[in-house]
Amino acid sequence: MTTEKSNSEYLKACGLIPGGVNSPVRAFKSVGGNPIFISRAKGSKITDIDGNNYIDYVSSWGPLLLGHAHESIVEAIKKASEKGTSYGAPTIAENEMAELIIQMVPSIEMVRMVSSGTEATMSAIRLARGFTGKNKIIKFAGCYHGHGDSFLIKAGSGAVTLGLPDSPGVTEGTAKDTLIAEYNNIFSVEKLFNEQGNNIAAVIVEPAAGNIGVVLPKNNFLEELRKITKKYNSLLIFDEVITGFRIAKGGAQEYYKVIPDITTLGKIIGGGLPVGAYGGKKEIMEKLAPVGPIYQAGTLSGNPLAMAAGIAMLKFIKENPNIYNDLEIKTSKLVNGLKNNLEKTGVKGIINRIGSMFTLFFNDSGKIEFFDDVMKSDKEKYAKYFKLSLETGIYLAPSQFEAAFVSYAHSDEDIEKTIEASYNTLSKLN
Ligand code: HOZ
């Protein structure tokens, strides 16, 4: 296997684009080596410019629930593009998209489309502040809500992978309005509310954390967040950019049966095109301009190509309710196979999973429930595992602190091949 062409394009890219990548998580900085450059992808497979094929578990970091280049999505984009790529004026497609989201996500009565998950979360906290008249927000260490200034404090994803959880460039004034609590530790939240409850506009949380690897909410954590936010007239924001339409049709809120005030969405709702959305109770959403005074806007918001792709995705999900069952069966088969491999090879590892997203942590803490548990993972071991997996044709996230995603397009054969490859890879780690 050679990656010569990728290596030379990467060298070129480094002179043109900071770090050679347009988003830091794509660099192989924490695992070593150079990123591979992709030429095309179909179904569960991705192909690099040297002609190597991989079974893909990055899935563009979450959006590709149906796999790459799904016919219904490609067709919808083709059709829409023939009628123009952007109008900056309303379309029927935006109504259709809004109706689908409102039907499928339990807490959403009204929704505003934007162009990325980051835009959705930034807008959601502005809305929460404007609605409540309070300034502070609570976020959890390790949770990642995109790269808005207010969120780059103890942030997960690329920020934790690269050791940059508190980014320079975020002003002290902004940082002081973000209060940090510990995920899965309700006492840390209560303490902040006891001290500053009257000035907390919202708690924002990934209901199942996916940006430090997968970490699931412990018993009642989400219910307790719901209770305490209600008690202090703060809003509860579920950042479902990853979990929305991933772990259930109605996202984590349907799965865990906890209803937030505002939900942020992205990834899957765009079918692989750049889309975000935020929605919630009508009385809150109607505070947005032009009905209300809280301003938020976007030239490409509700873009017709993005709406076409998103509608095709959501309709497919609606018309194929078996999809989550299928993903559950496939992913549990894969994860059980990986667990067996860990046992057989004696490599210390813990796998957290929900639905079709999971993380194998190289970690011997017994279980991973807190950010501190995650941070005890063996990054060097992950780097070796990543590199050897790549050589055997398995494309994983180039970071220990990310989720792997199984798509509807992954076949039984893909799963079996992955289990076999991981056995060989794990055998070489000890
Ligand atoms: N949430 C994604 C990774 N955890 C973001 C992808 C990116 O930053 O490019």
Per-residue pLDDT tens listing for the chain (430 residues): 899 999 999 999 999 999 999 999 999 999 999 999 999 999 999 999 999 999 999 999 999 999 999 999 999 999 999 999 999 999 999 999 999 999 999 999 999 999 999 999 999 999 999 999 999 999 999 999 999 999 999 999 888 888 888 899 999 999 999 999 999 999 999 999 999 999 999 999 999 999 999 999 998 999 999 999 999 999 999 999 999 999 999 999 999 999 999 999 999 999 999 999 999 999 999 999 999 999 999 999 999 999 999 999 999 999 999 999 999 999 999 999 999 999 999 999 999 999 999 999 999 999 999 999 999 999 999 999 999 999 999 999 999 999 999 999 999 999 999 999 999 999 999 7
Atom of ligand 1 nearest to the CA of 241: 1
Domains for the chain: give ranges and CATH numbers.
Answer: 4-69+322-427 (3.90.1150.10), 71-319 (3.40.640.10)
- If you take atom 6 of ligand 1, which residue's CA is the nearest one? 61
How many residues in the chain? 430
Contact indicator for 296, 123 with CB cutoff of 8 Å:
yes
Could you tell me which residues come within 8 angstroms of residue 215 by beta carbon, excluding any fewer than 6 positions away? 142, 183, 184, 208, 209, 352, 368, 369, 370, 371, 373, 374
User: Ligand 1: distance of its center to the CA of 136 in Å?
Assistant: 25
Going by C-alpha positions, the residue among 227, 262, 301, 226 that lies closest to residue 128 is: 262
Atom of ligand 1 nearest to the CA of 242: 1
Place of tokens 């994803």: 157
Mutate to test the pocket of ligand 1, among 22, 59, 61, 374 (most ligand atoms within 8 A of CB): 61
Would you please indicate which residues are annotated as catalytic (active-site) residues? 144, 239, 267
Please tell me what DSSP assigns to residue 37: P
CA dist., res. 70 & res. 42, Å (int) = 8
Q: Which ligand 1 atom lies nearest to the CA of residue 117? A: 1
Kindly give the distance from the C-alpha atom of residue 157 to the centroid of ligand 1, in angstroms, as a whole number. Answer: 6
Q: How far is the CA of 162 from the centre of ligand 1 (A)?
A: 13
- Beta strand pairing call for 357-361 and 350-354: antiparallel
Pocket probe mutation, ligand 1, options 23, 29, 265, 268, max atoms within 8 Å of Cβ: 23
- The CA distance from 254 to 238, in Å, is 12
Nearest alpha carbon, ligand 1 atom 5: 61
Nearest ligand 1 atom to alpha carbon 211 = 4
CB atoms within 10 A of CB 300: 16
pTM over 0.85: yes
